[in-house]
Amino acid sequence: MDIRRLTHFIALAEEGRFAAAAQRVHLSQAAFSRSIQALEDRMGVRLVDRRPDGVSLTATGAAVLARARVLVFDSDCLVRDVALLKSGDAGELAIGVAPVAAAALLPGLLVRMKREKPKVSIKLRFGNLAQLMPLLEDQQIDVCFGDPRIVAQSERLASNRVARVFGGLFCRKGHPAARKRTIDAALLRQYGVGSFTITRELLAPIARSLGFSSASAFPMTMLCDDVNLLAQVAVATDLLVILPESAGGRGDLHAMPWRESRAQFGDMHAIWLAGRTLSPAASHAIAISQELGKG
């Protein structure tokens, strides 16, 4: 059905005269008359009775008018929604977030997105990248944030670095180890260390910086992909925890003296399916993440 001709019919029904309706839709009266006639021919019925003083709707015309108003309204809404989607101001954005990204990146990203794109509906999925990759490949999520070295490299994936994440070793305030000016392997073995999921390749430099010969020798006694929960366990026990700086900056945790002033946990990337055009909302989220990463 031609929405433009339905719009002309609505104008005629509301104005009651061909001349006024044609002027309203910016057509000549002859072109407007042809449009109404074409609509009647298309439907095979007469929609208006033509009289010297104007027009009146037939019974069929009245029924068509009610449906036409709905169709034109829905068409206008569709055009508006597409424009909003093109600009990234509406639509749905599904984001997958790995543990470190959830702690270091997500709070600032969500605040900016809701301020700048309040009509975008955001859905979050949490987990390590190995859990999130199948969702990305099934197109259940639009973009993931995490370190791509956690998973096997794939030509199906595209990525862009958004931030370098730094962190350290923390214990609760009042912990016996909090009084130590240096930390060594014996201290870590005594209390054990908790961390988020991390590969041996990423753990190896951290282990070496803390006095261990290899990642396999590191006394990891807890793995938890909820970084905030890991911090809560550290506050309530003697467990030492590896946390990103953003999660470790709580008032109830003590930053322990690391051999390096800051330990780099890795590069945080936005990851999406190669060859798939990102939605404006997803592109905007990635741009925000890059800005936050520079801070």
Taking the whole predicted model, whether its pTM rises above 0.75 is answered as no
What confidence score (pLDDT) does residue 228 get? Answer: 87
- Which CATH fold topology does 92-164+267-294 show? D-Maltodextrin-Binding Protein; domain 2 (3.40.190)
Domain ranges of the chain: 3-87, 92-164+267-294, 166-265
Environment class of 152 (CB within 10 Å of its CB; exposed 0-12, middle 13-18, buried 19+): exposed
Nearest 5 degrees, angle CA 175-CA 179-CA 181? 135
Q: Which CATH architecture has domain 3-87?
A: Orthogonal Bundle (1.10)
Enumerate the H helices of 29-161 as residue ranges: 29-43, 59-87, 99-104, 106-116, 129-137
Mean pLDDT, rounded, for 80-103: 83
Q: Would you say the CATH fold of 166-265 matches that of 92-164+267-294?
A: yes
Q: 93, 121 in Cβ contact below 8 A?
A: yes
Phi-psi region of 88 (alpha: psi -120 to 50; beta: other; left: phi over 0): left
Q: What is the pLDDT of residues 34-70, one digit of tens each?
A: 999 999 999 999 999 999 889 999 999 999 999 999 9
Phi-psi region of 213 (alpha: psi -120 to 50; beta: other; left: phi over 0): alpha
Q: Which CATH architecture has domain 166-265?
A: 3-Layer(aba) Sandwich (3.40)
pLDDT of residue 85 exceeding 80 = no
What single-letter DSSP state applies at residue 175? -
* Token pair for 248: 């470790």
Q: Which residues, other chains included, contact 163 with Cβ-Cβ below 8 Å and sequence gap of 6+?
A: 104, 105, 267, 268, 289, 290, 292, 293, 294
